[in-house]
């Protein structure tokens, strides 16, 4: 523990979060978990495969639209705990996730949208990133695993995630970090695209990994992706331009989810842990 740093305890969807560290069964920690996630990857390809994704004929030519929308809606569960109490709607308020009077963040709230089929909470990858964020900032960090289905169904499930994320952001005081992996990256990106100016201003940083709506023309992209390329359900170029300096979007070469079905190869969709430290350093630099 760093001197003077307080730890926040928050329970969300059956997952215990202690001091910004997630304690939950991690599917990818075992061989069986890796096989399960690989089978979920095949579901992506079955759902969005064929001629979707792959190379872009002209930069910026990715199609718009997508599985999820940016509409707000009602949430599912309330969060609880946090050193500053709980704001209406379940996001810790006051010290946890609130702005200090001088405009600096007295605390940070990380909202993590896990990938398809991962256990409730943050999932493995985003739990790792959250722990590294906690180790790099000197204020309390509260981690919230977004309460949404993360089901192998790519219309209603991400829509529910977008609605819940909208609810949490609207209820917060700011100083937010949004993380999304795979289907969770759809949720984060589509929510950002639909935020009001007031809600958008609450987000200090957003990081996405293995994004099905990836478009290689964006200035915030990172990773080993090929160019030009786009994901299985690409986002319109410039759709998140208001957040260009607050986003990182990681895509591995060989990841068919963010590169398109024609670029599959290896375990690229399961290999984003290599970027956890870099992503956490970026987030910490926004505070």
User: In this prediction, what percent of the chain has a pLDDT beyond 90?
Assistant: 56
Q: Which pLDDT does position 43 carry in this prediction? A: 53
Q: Which pLDDT does position 56 carry in this prediction? A: 26
pLDDT in tens, 159-178: 999 999 999 999 999 999 99
pLDDT mean across residues, the chain: 74
φ and ψ at residue 128, rounded to 5 degrees? -65, -45
pLDDT for residue 46 is more than 80: no
What is the pairing mode between strands 176-181 and 108-113? parallel
Q: Which long-range contacts (CB under 8 A, 24 or more apart) does 149-154 make?
A: 150/113, 150/114, 150/115, 150/116, 150/117, 150/118, 150/123, 150/183, 150/184, 151/116, 151/117, 152/40, 152/43, 152/116, 152/117, 154/44, 154/47, 154/48, 154/67, 154/183, 154/186, 154/212, 154/233
pLDDT for residue 62 is more than 70: no
Mean pLDDT to the nearest integer, 82-89: 32
Mean pLDDT to the nearest integer, 53-82: 29
pLDDT in tens, 130-164: 999 999 999 999 999 999 999 999 899 999 999 99
Kindly state the tokens that stand for 3.
């001197």
Model confidence at 15, in pLDDT bands (50, 70, 90)? very low
Q: Which pLDDT does position 267 carry in this prediction? A: 79
Kindly state the tokens that stand for 286.
């926004």
pLDDT in tens, 101-124: 334 899 999 999 999 999 999 999
DSSP 3-state assignment of 214? coil
Write out the H or E segment, with its range, that includes residue 142.
strand 141-145
Kindly state the tokens that stand for 77.
């569960």
Q: Which pLDDT does position 39 carry in this prediction? A: 53
Q: Which pLDDT does position 82 carry in this prediction? A: 30
pLDDT in tens, 202-245: 999 999 999 999 999 999 999 999 888 889 889 999 999 999 99
Q: Which pLDDT does position 232 carry in this prediction? A: 87
Q: Which pLDDT does position 29 carry in this prediction? A: 35
Q: Which pLDDT does position 273 carry in this prediction? A: 96
Q: Which pLDDT does position 261 carry in this prediction? A: 72
Q: Which pLDDT does position 265 carry in this prediction? A: 65
């Amino acid at each position: 523990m760093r001197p003077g740093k307080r730890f926040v305890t928050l329970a969300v969807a059956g997952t215990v979060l202690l001091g910004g560290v997630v304690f939950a069964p991690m599917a990818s920690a075992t061989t069986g978990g890796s096989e399960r996630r690989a089978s979920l990857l095949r579901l992506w390809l079955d759902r969005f495969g064929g001629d979707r994704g792959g190379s872009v004929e002209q930069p910026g030519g990715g199609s718009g639209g997508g599985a999820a929308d940016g509409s707000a809606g009602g949430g599912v569960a309330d969060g609880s705990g946090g050193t500053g109490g709980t704001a209406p709607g379940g996001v810790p308020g006051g010290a946890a996730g609130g702005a200090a009077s001088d405009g600096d963040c007295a605390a940070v709230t990380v909202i993590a949208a896990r990938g398809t089929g991962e256990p409730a909470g943050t999932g493995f990858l985003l739990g790792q990133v959250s722990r590294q964020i906690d180790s790099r900032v000197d204020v309390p960090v509260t981690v919230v695993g977004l309460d949404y289905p993360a089901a192998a169904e790519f219309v209603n499930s991400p829509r529910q995630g977008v609605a819940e994320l909208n609810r949490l952001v609207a209820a917060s005081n700011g100083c937010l970090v949004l993380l999304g992996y795979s289907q969770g990256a759809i949720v984060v990106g589509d929510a950002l695209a639909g935020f009001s100016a007031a809600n958008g201003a609450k987000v200090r940083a957003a990081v996405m990994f293995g994004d099905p709506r990836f478009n290689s023309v964006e200035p915030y992209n990172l990773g080993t992706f090929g160019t030009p390329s786009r994901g299985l359900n690409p986002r319109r170029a410039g759709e998140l331009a208001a957040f260009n300096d607050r986003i990182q979007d990681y895509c591995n070469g060989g990841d068919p989810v963010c590169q398109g079905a024609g670029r599959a190869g290896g375990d690229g969709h399961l290999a984003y842990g290599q970027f956890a430290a870099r992503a956490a350093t970026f987030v910490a630099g926004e505070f």
